[in-house]
Structure 1
Amino acid sequence: MRRSRLKHAGLAVLLMLGSWTAAGSLPASASDEAPASAGLLQAMQEDFGLTRAQAEERLAAEERATDLEPVARRAAGGAFGGSWFDAATGRLTVAVTTDAPPATTEAVEATGARVRAVEHSARALDAAKTRIDGFSAPSGVAGWHVDPAANSVVVEVVEDERADNDVQRFLDRARTAGPVTVRTVTDTPSTFAAGTVGGDPYYTGNVRCSIGFSVHGGFVTAGHCGGAGAGVSGWDGSYIGTFQGSSFPDNDYAWVSVGSGWWTVPVVLGWGTVSDQLVRGSAEAPIGASICRSGSTTHWHCGTVLAKNETVNYAQGAVHQMTKTSVCAEGGDSGGSFISGDQAQGVTSGGWGNCTSGGETWFQPVNEILNRYGLTLHTA
């Protein structure tokens, strides 16, 4: 049943690509060509408590913020302190250091972004985080990231272990690196691979994971799902291909070559919750933007981008440059797609919690994976 549905999706995409090619051009992005699907709008209404009109308005505002961010960043120059999407106002907020000349603040405001004055630049905060990355963290420390709204490096500590001596020593050392804020989380992060249960996207040995995004020649996924050279089987047990590159820990990304009758299409499964989503690019959504995840266990869920460039302290070792979200996930969802609108964002790595009680999940940004392996995203 599922194989048939995927084949039909692939044929539809090929037909659309053929007609675009005949016309002599391809759409550059989702912006003007593709309104949000009814299923995506319905999912946003359910997950965020919005009306249909509010969901449409939010998606449009997030797209404007995504386009605006690099322009506002350039206007801020060395005074740039970070940026985030404010769902309450529907606008991009850009932090600018207090020592910036008035002309810089005015230049940022002229782009249409809101300005917030802060003490520390993004460069200074990133440097502090890099210093903390060099420290060995105990298991009671879940991770750390730069929070532009807090204008600080946020270190997350497991609530039950905050008083642990090793945790306290790590926090004391972290504070010497730069401005640090401590927050508590309820559980330690873990990856979302699972044992063989059958009927799901792909397997490496007895490990089940999820396909991330199609690239020309294969697909990208999580590195902890398999090492370079490992063979990959599909949901029906047939051979798909081989892990051509893989990195975990330090990173959590990989890519798999596809052959043996399998092919790639620029589609993310909606699992019946929403219609299958076409992928049209990989423009990076800002902090605060809505984002959805597709995985083979818990299927389709949505939330918001909470943080970027976070170091996550898994039991197997620290993984860097991760993006944190409020989206839930469970075992077997590893490697699956994170998408914002029709823009690919990254592949599921791990998190804490589940899709019954809630939790948080991290993904490895897709553009980093593409750049690392010289891959080209398959887009519609």
Structure 2
Amino acid sequence: MSHKRIPKRKIVFAGGGAAAVVAAAILLPQANASQTGSDPSPAPAPKSLSALSAGDLASRIATRLGPAFAGAYYDQDRRQVTVNVVGDDSDLRAEVTRAGAVVRSVKNSTAQLKSAAMTLRQQATIPGTAWAVDPTTNRIQVTADRTVTGDEWDRIESTVESLGADTARIKKSAGEFKTVAAGGDAIFGGGARCSLGFNVIDGNGAPGFLTAGHCGVAAAEWSDAAGGAPVGTVQQATFPGDGDFAFVSYDDATTQAPSTVDTGDGQTVEITGAAEATVGQAVIRMGSTTGLNDGSVTGLDATVNYAEGTVTGLIQTDVCAEPGDSGGPLFTADGNAIGLTSGGSGDCTVGGETFFQPVTTALAAVGAQIGDGSVGDGSVGDGSVGDGSVGDGGDLGAGNDGGTAQNDGGNAGGYGGDAGDSNDEGAVGHGESAATENG
């Protein structure tokens, strides 16, 4: 696999909070005190994990803990995963520690946080608002953009206050949540420009690509050049509702659509598969307006109330984006696709929130695969949950946190933007970038 060194183009805004929480969590008392009065055995040190293996380990621990599991997050600097646990079951806490994770006691269970999110949806579904579970604070983070004022602001604020300060908090964003299909440099349809996210293969082995759902509902056919002949036809699109993704099949079944991404300057990255996002994970976004920008995942299962409707199940990040970046891919540094840009607020000067459609969910919905179809490509060690023990966890080693997933530049319209001129070198179907790095 060849790839370029990813430059850090902008300041990452909200990256250091997890480390402080993890540092405090490590000081938790040890379980399993000696029955003879001797000093307890020292707890094993947390394992050093890649982001991908941390997410896998957290999923296995969640299965074992059941209702006691209250989310998990990754500390990129320490390479450790912290697992939130509700209750005082010392045996479960000890299993989490033996598995290689840091244990953190919290108040709110996953069920309680989901209930709080449902209250928000029932009482405060207002365009310009969004919310997601933040496991680093064990609360629901609610965001209202600059358009939410007057009675609408009072309603969302009072709803958050009714949930309690320990369950939800609200902040104001200077930007505006948008998903207007315009402003990119990759694919064209119905007067809109959007980005091709990832080349994929459908269940019949035919080539196609993923893009944003709000692009898929805007036009049935897409071209690789403004005013050009269509190269792909939308087969499935979801927006708004349970996601923001579309699958477009190539009209020419012989189109070569490798899982290779052009990141500019003649450099390419092979996409080896798709991976689930983990809170705290370092991620990179490619866009035709601002190029490469990095940041971290700040929330999962996000709900965003766009003007066009409510979208659920998204990834929330602090990665910046600007008009023309929407629809571009979210990825990690070693070959795994993470998300498709849906929309957000802010820009790469003052920051903001950006939301992404999880690639794994989109692939499952349309019956397609990237690369060899793997979700990651490793094991989380030799631990087992079947025998009542979470096991040792294990480390996936160096890699499997990433991979760039830019397949074809350009941008899906979540941020509006001007139609302007485009640079359309290379066929969309060949995984070549049709985007211009302006940032």
CA separation of 1:170/1:69 partners in 2, compared to 1, >3 Å: closer, same or farther? same
Match of 1:205 among 190, 193, 207: 190
Aligned residue among 239, 245, 270 for 1:248? 239
SS in 1 for 2:62: helix
Flag the 1:280–1:373 CA change in 2: closer, same or farther, 3 A. Answer: same
Q: Which residue of 2 aligns with 1:365?
A: 358
Q: Is the 8 A contact 1:129 1:153 kept in 2?
A: yes
Query: Matches of 1:322 and 1:89 in 2, distance apart?
Result: 26
Q: 1:171 aligns with which of 154, 157, 168?
A: 157
Q: Deviations over 1:4-33 (max 9, x none)?
A: xxxxxxxxxxxxxxxxxxxxxxxxxxxxxx
Partner of 1:264: 257
- Residue 215 (structure 1) aligns with: 200
SS state at 1:358 partner: coil
Asked if the contact 1:80/1:95 (under 8 Å) is kept, the reply is yes
Out of 210, 214, 239, the residue aligned to residue 230 of structure 2 is 239
Partner of 1:92: 81
Give the match for residue 57 of structure 2: 68
Q: Is the 8 A contact 1:223 1:247 kept in 2?
A: yes
Q: 2:368 aligns with which of 354, 366, 375?
A: 375
TM-aligned CA deviation for residue 184 of structure 1? 2.2
Cα distance between partner residues in 1 of 2:221 and 2:95: 53
Gaps (5+ residues) in structure 2? 14-47, 202-206, 374-439
Gap change, CA 1:119 and 1:246, over 3 Å in 2: same
Partner of 1:24: none
Output the CA distance in 1 between the equivalents of 2:249 and 2:70.
40
* Distance of 2:9 and 2:223 partners within structure 1: 36
Moved more, 148-157 or 207-216: 148-157
Q: Name the Cα RMSD after superposition.
A: 2.8
Stretch moving more, 60-69 or 324-333:
60-69
> Which one is further off, 296-305 or 341-350?
296-305
Could you give the per-residue CA deviations for residues 208-259 of structure 1, whole angstroms, max 9, x where no partner exists? 1101111113011101113287111013734211111112112311110112
Q: Deviations over 1:125-154 (max 9, x none)?
A: 123213322335334x52111111211112
Residue 76 of structure 2 aligns with an amino acid whose one-letter code is A
Match of 2:341 in 1: 348
Alignment partner, residue 8 of structure 1? none
CA–CA distance in 2 between the matches of 1:47 and 1:182?
24
The residue identity in structure 2 corresponding to 1:125 is L
Distance 1:321 1:275, change over 3 A: same
Figure out how many residues of one structure are paired with residues of the other and give that number: 329
Residue in 1 aligned with 2:145? 158
Which one of 96, 112, 116 corresponds to residue 124 of structure 1? 112
User: Comparing both structures, which one devotes a greater share of its residues to strand?
Assistant: 1
1:309 deviation in Å?
A: 0.8
Q: Distance in 2 between matches of 1:228 and 1:367?
A: 23
Summarize the alignment of residues 35-54 of structure 1 with structure 2, pairs less than 5 Å apart.
37-40=3-6, 43-44=7-8
What letter corresponds to residue 237 of structure 2 in structure 1? S
Aligned amino acid, residue 340 of structure 1: T
* Aligned counterpart in structure 1 of residue 129 of structure 2, from 113, 129, 142: 142
Greater mean deviation of Cα atoms: 147-156 or 235-244: 235-244
User: Whose helix fraction is larger, Structure 1's or Structure 2's?
Assistant: 1
Contact conserved, 1:233 with 1:240, CA < 8 A, in 2?
yes
Distance in 2 between the 1:258 and 1:375 partners?
A: 13
Question: Residue in 2 aligned with 1:30?
Answer: none
Partner SS state of residue 269, structure 1: strand
Indicate if the aligned counterparts of 1:193 and 1:331 stay in contact, CA closer than 8 A.
no
Aligned residues of 2:106 and 2:138 also touching (Cα < 8 A)? yes
Q: Secondary structure at the match of 1:322?
A: strand
Letter in 2 for 1:121: S
Q: Could you say if the C-alpha distance between residues 269 and 122 of structure 1 is closer, same or farther in structure 2, counting changes exceeding 3 Å?
A: farther
Cα separation, 1, equivalents of 2:174 and 2:92: 41
| Deviation for aligned residue 1:159 | 5.9
Do the aligned residues in 2 keep the contact of 1:80 with 1:96 (CA within 8 Å)?
A: yes
Q: Which whole-Å CA distance do the structure 1 matches of 2:177 and 2:354 have between them? A: 8
Query: Quick one: percent identity of the two aligned structures?
Result: 34
Which SS does the other structure have where 1:186 is aligned?
Answer: coil
The 5 Å alignment of 1:177-196 reads 179-191=167-179, 193-195=181-183
Distance 1:253 1:291, change over 3 A: same
Maintained 8 Å contact 1:81/1:94 = yes
State whether residues 49 and 80 of structure 2, in contact with CA within 8 Å, keep that contact through their aligned partners in structure 1: no
Residue 77 of structure 1, CA deviation: 2.4
Instruction: Give secondary structure in 1 for the equivalent of 2:54.
Output: helix
1:225 equivalent in structure 2: 215
Contact 1:129 1:177 in 2 (8 A): no
Shift of 1:169: 1.9
1:278 is aligned to 2:248: no
Aligned pairs for 1:281-292 (under 5 A) are 281-292=273-284
Quick one: structure 1 residues 343 and 369, their matched pair in 2 at CA, closer, same or farther if it must change by over 3 Å? same
Question: Whose radius of gyration is greater, 1 or 2?
Answer: 2
Higher RCO (C-alpha under 8 Å, 6+ residues apart): 2
